[in-house]
Amino acid sequence: MLNQDLGRGRGVYISTYGCQMNTNDTERMLALLEMMNFVPVESPDRASLIIINSCSVREKPVHKVRSEVGHYKDWKAKNPDLRIGVGGCVAQQEKAKLLKDIPVLDFAFGTDAIDQLPEIVARAYESKEKQVSARFENDKPYSIETMVRNPGVAAFVNITKGCDNFCTFCVVPFTRGRERSRSLKELVTDIKSLVARGVREVTLIGQNVNSYKSECGTDFANLMRTLAEETDIQRIRYTTSHPKDFNQELVDISAKYRSKICDYIHLPAQSGNTEVLRRMNRGYSREEYLDKVAMIRQGIPGVVLSTDIIVGFPGETEAQFEDTRSLLETVRYENIYAFKYSPRPFTKAARYTDQVPESDSKRRLQILLDRQREIAFELGEPYSGQTYDVLFEVKAQIPDQIQGRTTHNKLVYAVGPDSLIGQTRRVHVTKAFPNVLHGEILNQNAGALL
């Protein structure tokens, strides 16, 4: 029997690396541990239980875990009650090997083992044996309830887990397993209950949200339609969508329910060169990607786009890199997340023999970032003087100000009372920076706008 009181008098600290999936997983871990009366603490030196929720998508992930654990190593001698564990993708990838390599660790649990955390932690306290739980639950339907302890205005909701795309650079299919979708019914119920708890905006998350397929045959476009029609959620965002699965139907539904479905789409290109895309196994050419962009912009005028780019993918020539550079000029994204390629275990590209020298990747990355800074500046200017609906989410760090976002995911600061948090107001933009807008609330005393 699980000791539900195991956490009494014990603090828990979780450090989180990586994507929104991990952020959401951390929240779930904390919710589960709070049920055992563990108390979340702000710094690791006050904790009896330390968990590192790791990411292995890029660059030296095991090294990062090792160096963080290095800080805690000596604490164990002083505090025999301290238990240290690793979750997330590194744990999934390394399994028992991680515990062998870093002896101070007590347990490791994979991405599909989060709901077993209470048992794993209990065993870590009750037995001297190291605990490893890293099996994929590929055969079970993906069914969970979103766990948020104190939901704010915006919440993340997992709609799929895993990925079947096997892009040749990416470790995710190996660390998150096969793609599974939650049922439509479960998602509607989940989001209705979040709305009842005060949530106004959800971001649907998954490695590849638009390949969502519920067992009743519903696809992503239909999921969006259903959520827009059957729930009172005010705003729906999603990330990450895959260009190959972005279809006209999704564009049409986004246009039809524009008041709810936000005008911001993260559409990872990874490269602007067709041959590189082929070697990445992305499932589209440069032209097909640009056709998707044109389809989206035609159906949803004013939509804001962002992307992910990898430079220095094995075999990438200067000319091929130039195609990526020109993609930025053609699409003019408001934001890019650009990375140097890093070889990942198990992946096909790690075995490609034509790895690009670090110095070339570094230079190419800098070229993209420098140019993108200029583009973002140019695109940011026209926001000044315009008026937008802003859903206010939290108090800002700046005194007397609150912060929220436009439908385009632009961060907005304005002077206003805390009572407007959770409400939507018209805001006149007085100053526009590439990533932040400052504005004045026009209808402060108006009733909540939808």
- Chain residues that interact with ligand 5AD, rule: CB under 6 A: 57-58, 169-170, 268, 270, 308, 310, 339, 341-342, 344
Residues in the site for ligand SF4, rule: CB under 6 A? 163, 165-167, 170, 172-173, 207-208, 242
Which is nearer to ligand SF4, 173 or 404 (by Cβ)? 173
Min CB(281)–ligand SF4 separation in Å = 8
CB of 308 to ligand 5AD, least distance (A): 3
Question: Which CB, 169 or 413, lies closer to ligand 5AD?
Answer: 169
Given ligand 5AD, ligand SF4, none, residue 341, with its beta carbon under 5 to 8 Å by kind, binds: ligand 5AD
CB-count burial class (<10 Å; 0-12, 13-18, 19+) for 279: buried
* Residue with smaller CB distance to ligand 5AD, 11 or 314: 314
Rg (CA), the chain: 23
The option from ligand SF4, ligand 5AD, none interacting with 242 (CB < 5 to 8 A, set by class) reads ligand SF4
C-alpha to C-alpha distances, 29 to 42, 59, 61, 193, nearest whole angstrom: 15, 25, 21, 20
The minimum distance between CB 128 and ligand 5AD, in angstroms, equals 37
Based on CB atoms, which residue is closest to ligand SF4, 125 or 166?
166
C-beta closer to ligand SF4: residue 29 or 170: 170
Q: Which of 147, 144, 137, 138 is nearest to 159 (CA)?
A: 144
| Secondary structure (3-state) at 438 | strand
Quick one: 119 or 219, whose CB is closer to ligand SF4? 219
Shortest Å distance, C-beta 13 to ligand 5AD: 26
| d(C-alpha 373, C-alpha 377), whole Å | 6
Per partner kind, with CB cut-offs from 5 to 8 A, the member of ligand SF4, ligand 5AD, none near residue 236 is: none
Q: For ligand 5AD, which is the closer residue by CB, 34 or 308?
A: 308
Closest distance between ligand SF4 and the C-beta of residue 163, in Å? 3
Cite the DSSP H helix spans in 127-213.
Answer: 172-175, 184-196
Q: From the list ligand 5AD, ligand SF4, none, which binds 163 (C-beta under 5 to 8 Å, kind-based)? A: ligand SF4
Q: What is the dihedral of CA 359, 362, 368, 369, to 10 degrees?
A: -150
Rounded Cα distance between 53 and 28, Å, is 12
Report the C-alpha gap between 238 and 206 in whole angstroms.
8
Cβ within 8 Å of residue 217, ≥6 positions away: none
End-to-end CA distance of the chain: 48
Residue from 295, 298, 301, 312 nearest 263 by CA? 301
Given ligand SF4, ligand 5AD, none, residue 208, with its beta carbon under 5 to 8 Å by kind, binds ligand SF4
